Amino acid sequence: MSHYQHYGTTVREKMAAYQAEAARARLLKLIVPSFRVRLGRILLAMGRRLVGESPGLQS
């Protein structure tokens, strides 16, 4: 009986972990594209600012 209960909780934990992982993956799929775009814009802005601040680097 106790072995069966243990097995049940193990399966339940694995299912919970799997669902959490799936939810995280789904969230990442939604977040990552917009995050990449935002990151690209930030890097572009930083690059422009660096180039603007130090025109000597361009030569």
* Segment 12-40, tens digit of pLDDT: 899 999 999 999 999 888 888 888 899 99
| 50 contact partners, CB below 8 Å, separation of at least 6 | 57
- Give pLDDT, residue 20: 94
7 to each of 12, 13, 38, 48, how far by Cα in Å?
A: 9, 10, 45, 59
Whether residue 58 contacts residue 51, with contact meaning beta carbons closer than 8 Å, is answered with yes
What is residue 59's predicted lDDT score, i.e. its pLDDT?
A: 47
- 45 or 28: which carries more pLDDT confidence? 45
Whether the predicted model's global pTM rises above the 0.85 cut: no
Q: Is 54 helix (H, G, I), strand (E, B) or coil?
A: coil
